[in-house]
Amino acid sequence: MNEVTTRTVRVELGARSYDILIGEGLIAGAGTAIAARLPGLRAAIVTDETVAALYLEPLRASLRAAGIEATPIVLPPGETTKSFSHLQTAVEAVIAARLERGDAVIALGGGVIGDLAGFVAGIVRRGMRFIQVPTTLLAQVDSSVGGKTGINSPQGKNLVGVFHQPSLVLADTQVLDSLPPREFAAGYAEVVKYGLIDRPDFFEWLERHRAGIFAGQAARAEAIAESCRAKAEVVADDEREEGRRALLNLGHTFGHALEKAVRYDPARLVHGEGVAIGMAMAHRFSVRLGLCSGQDAGRVARHLEAAGLPTRLGEVPGPGFTVAELMGAIRQDKKVSRERLTFILTRGIGEAFIAKDVEPAGLEAFLADEIAGR
Amino acid sequence: MNEVTTRTVRVELGARSYDILIGEGLIAGAGTAIAARLPGLRAAIVTDETVAALYLEPLRASLRAAGIEATPIVLPPGETTKSFSHLQTAVEAVIAARLERGDAVIALGGGVIGDLAGFVAGIVRRGMRFIQVPTTLLAQVDSSVGGKTGINSPQGKNLVGVFHQPSLVLADTQVLDSLPPREFAAGYAEVVKYGLIDRPDFFEWLERHRAGIFAGQAARAEAIAESCRAKAEVVADDEREEGRRALLNLGHTFGHALEKAVRYDPARLVHGEGVAIGMAMAHRFSVRLGLCSGQDAGRVARHLEAAGLPTRLGEVPGPGFTVAELMGAIRQDKKVSRERLTFILTRGIGEAFIAKDVEPAGLEAFLADEIAGR
Ligand SMILES: NC(=O)c1ccc[n+]([C@@H]2O[C@H](COP(=O)([O-])OP(=O)(O)OC[C@H]3O[C@@H](n4cnc5c(N)ncnc54)[C@H](O)[C@@H]3O)[C@@H](O)[C@H]2O)c1
Ligand SMILES: NC(=O)c1ccc[n+]([C@@H]2O[C@H](COP(=O)([O-])OP(=O)(O)OC[C@H]3O[C@@H](n4cnc5c(N)ncnc54)[C@H](O)[C@@H]3O)[C@@H](O)[C@H]2O)c1
Ligand SMILES: [Zn+2]
Ligand SMILES: [Zn+2]
């Protein structure tokens, strides 16, 4: 018999505080967990076809057993689902289910479903309850924590959305066993990110426990819990990303530019892979600016590589990148303030900081070298 | 020479507090007013074709003179513009203008434009600045105050949106001179509403000053300012409509049902006309429930009629209404909580209250009588 431990991480946001439960079997236990906290609730479950095939019926059965009726809304999988047209479909389906403000939209899936469903919950009747049941490692450690929701626009990722906090997050660590290894590794990039921002001890712990985390041992749940704690702490400090929360974008300005350049083609690059390359680049750029040691940058790249993640532009299959397309994407990124470029740079492992005056010329030269593989 | 008086009403919402300026010539003075409060701002102006023909160039000229560059986004006029497809158009145009979080979306128009543009401002980059330049009486006294934004869905009005407060509201009372008389009267229904909710003295004042308000005398600006004060007070008390703010829905549950039944055809009914009939009905329904005197209900109907507003279902041109269609619309209304119906009822002029347990059967009988013209 397995002893089942559920870890709880509390996100402190005053009246909008909520719990993240992390452990095995939480989908089977969802009905009980939700009914105990939110009696009388009705719900819609937003999910994608891939996840629906695996976990929709178990989740509905668990809800049904607790007396919670839930209307399923099944969308196609993939980043392109974060669009106006799928938003509209989901919004209208939630309204058609006659749910009220106190009822919930439940996101069952990865970050794509979480971002879209959270946006739906944020705008139907100007805000309904929202519950996250993240099923990718990325969603469990990152996108389901913090209340950022949204969709993409033709001009860039996540340019449209709202801040809308969930009432509860249920991270079932068991469901990660069905995740394609590439997706697991991609999510792991975000775990590493928390170490790199301001938790050097956690980074060292990851260096020692990486194999166990990938194999699904107890280290997995602990890595997820520590990641949620790290993100929850930053979010509690700065809910609306006016200051410190920007640190969470370590690796993301480059990462988003790459995702845009490959037109969000997951055959070429998934989000976490972009972040992995982006973090490695942020460290190399910091070395070049004389901020960070080459040793630290090397150690970061080696850890990401050991986890099966790319760290160089040349590892992305397909045609190469150009400086112009990357610079264009970087300028359009949310974090651009007027013509100065804001970047997350670092003084070493666990010492990231917000740099507000990065010079475009220096950045262009760096990108040219990275593209040339220098 | 005219002495120009600008009235200021402050909406107290802590960090989100803002001013409503009310007076003549505020479009000509917009550039100065905005630049003084929000230096360095860039903007997009969302407007409709009718309003653009009259006021877009004057507003742009005023902004330009103050050094504010503004990209115009011109949409078709009418309620059907509050749709997903126009939302998407406007969102993408704002993003294409490369505006940032601190820049502003300016709504130049009536409530349709204000609601849509406010929603755009609320979701682009998860929230940009928002400035209202309302050009209908309804928008000046109602929709531009309070932060409710949104669009319609096939299932009902305003079912999709966010709360997003403006940074500034500029209500130019002169622009109301070009408003079709029917639209002016429709907006006046909302002015009357504030008297009926909890300002019996204001209602009496309106009985005496109605003609001057319609003729554009000083009473007009005073009526607008008092309406803004009334709404601002309720909103400050209850920003997210969890309690007292529901009083502002006096006449609106019926009104929305009528608008839905005529499929938002403005040839048959505009919003304020629906509200006028709805308020008259709310009073008659209250009389029937033994809550309100017939004298008060009669006085309300007479005042609305004198202003050129309808007060009876039979005054709506076209095919008659059925109990079933009105009940269906009422149940789908946002204010329905489970199977009990929530209504704003009244004990007399200026004594409206929130009734949470209105019996569907009694309501159906009342509707049947109203339809029969009894
Ligand atoms: N809101 C935030 O704060 C935030 C933070 C980071 C990332 N994001 C967003 O998250 C998205 C990426 O999320 P993602 O990586 O989870 O992608 P995803 O949601 O597309 O999931 C990846 C793939 O795995 C499949 N899948 C999901 N769970 C599975 C399971 N248990 N077993 C088998 N297959 C499964 C999905 O169907 C999908 O095909 C991006 O859109 C990104 O912008 C948001
Ligand atoms: N957000 C809120 O709190 C709130 C409150 C009340 C109503 N509303 C919404 O407001 C909308 C109705 O607003 P409305 O009555 O202003 O309608 P509207 O915006 O459609 O304007 C009415 C008509 O007048 C024209 N117009 C506007 N200003 C003019 C001017 N100065 N001169 C000549 N023509 C002019 C417009 O082009 C339009 O054809 C509804 O969608 C309703 O749901 C919102
Ligand atoms: Zn990420
Ligand atoms: Zn109204």
CB A188 within 8 A of CB A202: no
Residue B374 has pLDDT above 70, yes or no: yes
pLDDT for the residue numbered A357: 86
Instruction: For residue A78, report the distance from its CA to the centre of ligand 1, in Å.
Output: 8
Nearest chain B alpha carbon to A93: B155
pLDDT for the residue numbered A222: 96
CATH 1.20.1090.10 domain position(s) in chain B: 181-372
CB B163 within 8 A of CB B118: no
Catalytic residue status for B193: no
Q: Give the Cα separation of B361 and B234 in Å (integer).
A: 31
Please state, in angstroms and as integers, the Cα–Cα distance from residue B114 to each residue in A208, A299, A371, following that order: 56, 53, 47
For residue B339, what pLDDT band results from cuts at 50, 70 and 90?
Answer: low
Residue B332 has pLDDT above 80, yes or no: no
User: In this complex, which of B95, B122, B127 lies closest to A155 when CB atoms are compared?
Assistant: B95
Catalytic residue status for B125: no
DSSP A4: P
Percentage above 90 pLDDT, chain B? 83
CB contact under 8 Å between B161 and A123, yes or no, is yes
DSSP B163: B
CATH 3.40.50.1970 domain position(s) in chain B: 7-177
Angle formed at CA B117 by CA B111 and CA B119, multiple of 5 degrees:
100
- Residues of chain A short of pLDDT 70, as ranges, are 1-4, 333-339
Ligand 2 atom showing the smallest separation from residue B115 Cα: 1
pLDDT for the residue numbered A333: 61
Q: Which residue has the tokens 């289910």?
A: A97
CB A250 within 8 A of CB A203: no
Mutate to test the pocket of ligand 2, among B26, B45, B112 (most ligand atoms within 8 A of CB): B112
**Which amino acid is residue A21, in one-letter code?**
L
Pocket of ligand 1 (CB under 6 A): A 48, 50-51, 54, 77-79, 82, 109-113, 115, 135-136, 138-139, 142-143, 146, 148, 157-158, 175, 178-179, 183, 186, 271
CB B155 within 8 A of CB A117: no
Which of B240, B272, B233 has the alpha carbon at shortest distance from B256? B272
pLDDT for the residue numbered A161: 98
Pairing between β-strand A352-358 and β-strand A341-346 as defined by DSSP bridges: antiparallel
- The stretch B136-154 carries a mean pLDDT of 95
Strand ranges inside chain A, DSSP E? 7-11, 18-23, 43-48, 70-75, 104-109, 129-134, 151-153, 156-160, 168-172, 341-346, 352-358
pLDDT for the residue numbered A237: 82
CB contact under 8 Å between A155 and B96, yes or no, is yes
pLDDT for the residue numbered B1: 35
Q: Which residue has the tokens 């705008």?
A: A123
A165 — phi, psi (to 5°)? -80, 145
The model's pLDDT over A283-307, given as tens digits with 9 standing for 90+, comes to 999 999 999 999 999 999 999 999 9
For residue B298, what pLDDT band results from cuts at 50, 70 and 90?
Answer: very high
CATH for the stretch A7-177: 3.40.50.1970
Question: Which-ligand-closest: CA of B278?
Answer: 4
Catalytic residue status for B241: yes
Q: Report the topology of domain B181-372.
A: Dehydroquinate synthase-like, alpha domain (1.20.1090)
Smallest CA–CA separation between A245 and chain B, in Å? 14
**Which amino acid is residue A305, in one-letter code?**
E
Q: Give the Cα separation of B327 and A216 in Å (integer).
A: 55
Q: Give the Cα separation of B129 and B28 in Å (integer).
A: 21
Instruction: For residue A181, report the distance from its CA to the centre of ligand 2, in Å.
Output: 54
Instruction: Please list the alpha-helical segments (H only) found in chain B.
Output: 30-37, 49-51, 57-65, 84-96, 111-123, 137-138, 181-198, 200-215, 218-237, 252-261, 271-288, 294-306, 323-332, 360-371
Pairing between β-strand B151-153 and β-strand B129-134 as defined by DSSP bridges: unpaired
CB contact under 8 Å between B153 and A123, yes or no, is no
- The stretch B216-224 carries a mean pLDDT of 93
pLDDT for the residue numbered A1: 35
Instruction: For residue B89, report the distance from its CA to the centre of ligand 4, in Å.
Output: 25
- Residue pairs between chains A and B whose CB atoms are closer than 8 Å: 81
Q: Which of A126, A158, A356 to mutate against chain B (most B CBs within 10 Å)? A: A126
Residues of A marked active site are found at 126, 148, 190, 231, 241, 245, 249, 252, 256, 271
Residue B335 has pLDDT above 60, yes or no: no
pLDDT for the residue numbered B239: 72
> Between A271 and B341, where is the model more confident?
A271
User: In this complex, which of A126, A153, A163 lies closest to B126 when CB atoms are compared?
Assistant: A163
Buried b (16+ CB within 10 A) or exposed e, A355-366: beebeeeebeeb
Question: Which-ligand-closest: CA of B276?
Answer: 4
Put residue A17 in one of left, alpha, beta given phi > 0 → left and psi -120 to 50 → alpha: beta
User: In this complex, which of B88, B125, B161 lies closest to A334 when CB atoms are compared?
Assistant: B125
pLDDT for the residue numbered A339: 63
Q: What is the mean pLDDT of chain B?
A: 93
In sequence order, which residues have a C-beta less than 8 Å from that of residue B233 and are 6 or more positions away? none
The model's pLDDT over B10-47, given as tens digits with 9 standing for 90+, comes to 999 888 999 999 999 999 999 999 999 999 999 999 99
> Between B2 and A69, where is the model more confident?
A69
Which of A257, A225, A266, A234 has the alpha carbon at shortest distance from A336? A257
